[in-house]
Chain A
Amino acid sequence: GENVEQHPSTLSVQEGDSAVIKCTYSDSASNYFPWYKQELGKRPQLIIDIRSNVGEKKDQRIAVTLNKTAKHFSLHITETQPEDSAVYFCAASPGDSSYKLIFGSGTRLLVRP
């Protein structure tokens, strides 16, 4: 089945710097890759997603890139702000069960003011 690995587990950056979180997946048939943000004690919320027919997608300060050949995808946050501090989860949708998501183990991002 699908396996998603996420790195780093923790990331500390200065406000205004960029942050990059990377994930790899094992199922070459996976076709949907969302990113969720979970603030402390809150529910996970979708921040951006990408499908396998696209290589890159941007939404203001957030971008996601996908390399299907290498089976990895990354989240890029530019001009980080303290309110970006949270746990970020990547996920992949397996090819044989595309209704569900397999999540990575999460990255705790701390943006220092």
Chain B
Amino acid sequence: GAGVSQTPSNKVTEKGKYVELRCDPISGHTALYWYRQSLGQGPEFLIYFQGTGAADDSGLPNDRFFAVRPEGSVSTLKIQRTERGDSAMYLCASSLQTGGISGELFFGEGSRLTVL
């Protein structure tokens, strides 16, 4: 597609449930990021993939959060035993950037997660 695609756009779940959020980056972009944005705040870094590997997962809040990108394209963010505090907009972004050089991030529309 032309841009970064994220599904679902909205997810409502109950506390304790498991959730998967999917991101399809721009074709050819090797760098992929997950950010979390709470209401009234800026995006907060979660994890960075360069190709298939998670080069930096230092932003994941705890071990309930995990992300994969098995073929170097689509990525899935997985959240186990969801808590009300996980409620936020989860943004995925991709970039042409390689070699650790910063550049423009292209964001998706986000997946809004609500944990009841």
Binding site for B on A (CB under 8 A): 4, 6, 31-32, 34, 42-46, 49, 89, 91, 93, 97-106
Contacts and interface: CB of A to CB of B under 8 A. Distances in A.
B102 A93 contact: yes
A52 to B, nearest CB: 11
B104 A49 contact: yes
Interface residues of B, number: 25
A89 B45 CA distance: 14
B20 interface: no
Contacts of A4: 42
A44 B102 CA distance: 17
Given A98-B102, A99-B31, 15 more contacts: A31-B102, A32-B103, A42-B109, A91-B42, A97-B56, A97-B100, A98-B100, A98-B101, A99-B48, A99-B56, A99-B101, A100-B45, A100-B56, A100-B102, A102-B45
Please give me the 10 A-B residue pairs with the lowest Cβ-Cβ distance, nearest first.
Answer: A103-B42, A93-B102, A32-B102, A43-B107, A98-B102, A46-B104, A89-B42, A99-B100, A44-B107, A103-B43
A64 B109 CA distance: 26
B45 A46 contact: no
